[in-house]
A and B are shown apart, each in its own frame.
Chain A
Amino acid sequence: MSRLSKTPEQPIIPRIKYNTILNVLMRGYHVDKRPITSYRPIEIVFNVAPKAEGSALVRLGNTQVIAGVKMEVGQPYPDTPNEGAIIVNAEYIPAASPSFEPGPPDENAIELARVIDRAIRESKAIPLDKLCIVPGKKVWILWLDIYVLDHDGNLVDAAMLAAMAALSNTYIPYYEVLDPDTGAIKVDKLRKKEPLPLSKYVVITTIYKINHALVIDPTAEEESVASYRLSVAIDEDKRIVGLQKTGLGSMTEKEIDEIISLSLAKADELIGILKSVKSQSSS
C-alpha cells in the first residue's frame, strides 16, 4: 500500500491563528505585512558548491533551496544521437522541516522535479544539441539536483529560481576529442571549457488560493490553509511553458484567467532579478 498516493494529513492550526491568517490575507496583506501579491526578499548566492559544475543557493524569506549541476559524459539516446540529456531530481531533506522524513523522494519531491524538468525542457532553455560531444557516441548528461534546505513555503518558485541560477552559473568541463570515429575523448574536470549555453530564463510563479484571495509567495503557515495552487512556468518571451495544479480544491475559469495574468506580471519581476544578480556576479 505504500505506493498509493494518499490524502495528506491536514496540519492542526489553532483556530485563533487560522482566523488571523485569513483576516490579514482578506485585507490584502501577508502575515509579515507585505501585500499579498508581492514576494519576500529574494537572495541568490552563486557557486556555493565549487566542486559542482554550477550551483546556487536561493533564499526566499526563510525558505532556502540549493541546486547543483554535475556534468557527466554519457551515451546519447538512440532517437536523439546529436543531443545531450538533462536529468532533474529533487529532494526534501529531513533537516528542512519536521514533517519531512528521510528516504527516497516521495510523490511531492518527484512532482517538484518533474514540473521543473518540463519547464526547462519544453521552453528549450538549454539547447540540448550544444551538449553533443561526438554525434551518436558521446554527449553531456546534465544532472540537475535540487535540495530543499529549509521549508517556509512556496518551494516550487524557489526551486525553479535555484535551478535557473545554478544553470546560468554552470561551466562545461574542458574536453578534447581524441578520435571522432571511436568517440574517444579526454576530459579534465578541473578546467573549464565554456559556460553552459542558456538560451533563456524560465521562472515559475505559483499562485495560491487561500479563502477568497489569490496569494503569491505564502509562508509555510499560510500555505497550509490554501485550497489549491497553480504553478505557472513562464519564459522570457512571455509564453506559458508549463502548468501544474496541486491541492485538494477546484478552480473556476475566471480564477484561472486572473492567475495567468498575475503570473505573467510576476514572472517579469523574477526574470529581472535573475538577470540582475547574474550581471552583478560576473562584473
Chain B
Amino acid sequence: MLKNADGSAYVEFGNTKVIAAVYGPREVVPRHEELTDRAIIRCRYRMLSFSTSDRKSPAPSRREIELSKVIREALEPAILSHYYPRTAIDVFVEVLNADGGTRTAGITAAALAVADAGIPMVDLVAAVAVGKIDGVLVLDVNELEDMFGEADMPLAAMPGLNKITMLQLNGVLTPQEFKQALTLAMKGIKQIYELQKEALRRTYVEIGEQIV
C-alpha cells in the first residue's frame, strides 16, 4: 500500500475505508520511553477531516484518544514484542471514509500491516461489530444503523487461538442477547480472518514472482 512504511494495509468494510501503516521495530524516540524487556507499541487512530459528513477538526478528539488506546490494546496480545526489547513499533490508522465500524476496520488493517512489516505475531487480529436494530442482532453495522440502533458491540479476536483481544459495548443488551451477539461476532471474525490470510498470501505470491 505505502512504499515507505515497513508494513501497510488497506481495508474496506462497505463504505468504511481505512489505511494502516506500521513502522518498526525501530529506535525509541524519546529514549526514556523504551522498555528493557519488550518493544513498546505506539498507536494513533485518526479520522481524516473529510471522512465524515460534517468536517472533522484535525485536532485529536477524546474519541480518537480513546480509540488509539483501544486499538493498541487489541493488537498487543498478538505481537511478540518480547523479541524486540528497547524498540518501538508504531501503528498508524487513518480513516479515509467513515461509515460505521472504523475501529474494527482499523484493527483488521493494523494487524495486516504488522504482519506485512514482518513482525512475528502469535495470530492475526480480526474485528467486527454486532449491532442491535429494532431488537434484531446484525453483523457489521454501518453509520445509519449505528445511529438508530439500540446497541453497538465491537469485538476483536485472534481467530486461530479463539482469544478475544477487544470488547466494547455502546448500548443495551440483555445477558442472553449478549451471548448471541458474541457468537455472531466470532462467526463474522472467522470470515474476515480468511480474507486477511488470503490477502497476505496474495501479496507474497506477487512479491515471489517479481523476485523470480
Contacts and interface: CB of A to CB of B under 8 A. Distances in A.
A242 B66 CA distance: 15
B42 A252 contact: no
A122 B170 contact: yes
B44 A5 contact: yes
Nearest to B179: A257
B163 A251 contact: yes
Contacts of B42: 1, 4-7
A123 interface: yes
A167 interface: no
Interface in B3-39: 29-30, 33, 35, 38-39
Interface in A213-247: 230, 235, 238-247
B169 A242 contact: yes
Nearest to B186: A253
Given A240-B178, A243-B167, A250 B158 contact: yes
Interface string B89-108: 01000000000000000000
A110 B65 contact: yes
A243 B153 contact: yes
A26 B86 CA distance: 33
User: Across chains A and B, which 5 residue pairs bring their CB atoms closest together, nearest first?
Assistant: A243-B169, A250-B163, A5-B68, A4-B42, A250-B77
Nearest to B39: A7
A151 B131 CA distance: 35
A251 B66 contact: no
24 contacts: A1-B30, A3-B68, A4-B43, A5-B68, A5-B71, A6-B33, A7-B76, A107-B69, A110-B65, A113-B62, A123-B172, A230-B167, A239-B174, A240-B172, A241-B169, A241-B172, A242-B170, A247-B73, A250-B164, A251-B164, A251-B167, A252-B162, A252-B164, A260-B175
Contacts, number: 122
A6 B41 contact: yes
A253 B90 contact: no
Contact of A4 (B76, B90, B163, B174): B90
Nearest to A124: B172
A111 B66 CA distance: 6
Contacts of A10: 35
Interface residues on B, range: 35 or more
Contacts of A246: 73
Interface in A80-116: 107-108, 110-111, 113-114
Interface of A: 1, 3-7, 9-10, 107-108, 110-111, 113-114, 118, 122-123, 230, 235, 238-253, 256-257, 260-261, 264
A205 B68 CA distance: 24
Interface string B35-67: 100111111100000000000000010110110
A241 B177 CA distance: 12
B165 interface: yes
B73 A248 contact: yes
Nearest to B62: A110
B105 to A, nearest CB: 18
Contacts of A264: 175
A170 to B, nearest CB: 23
Contacts of B88: 6
B166 interface: yes
B173 interface: yes
A4 B173 CA distance: 32
Given A5-B44, A7-B76, A111-B66, A252 B163 contact: yes
Nearest to B67: A5
B117 interface: no
B169 A240 contact: yes
B168 interface: yes
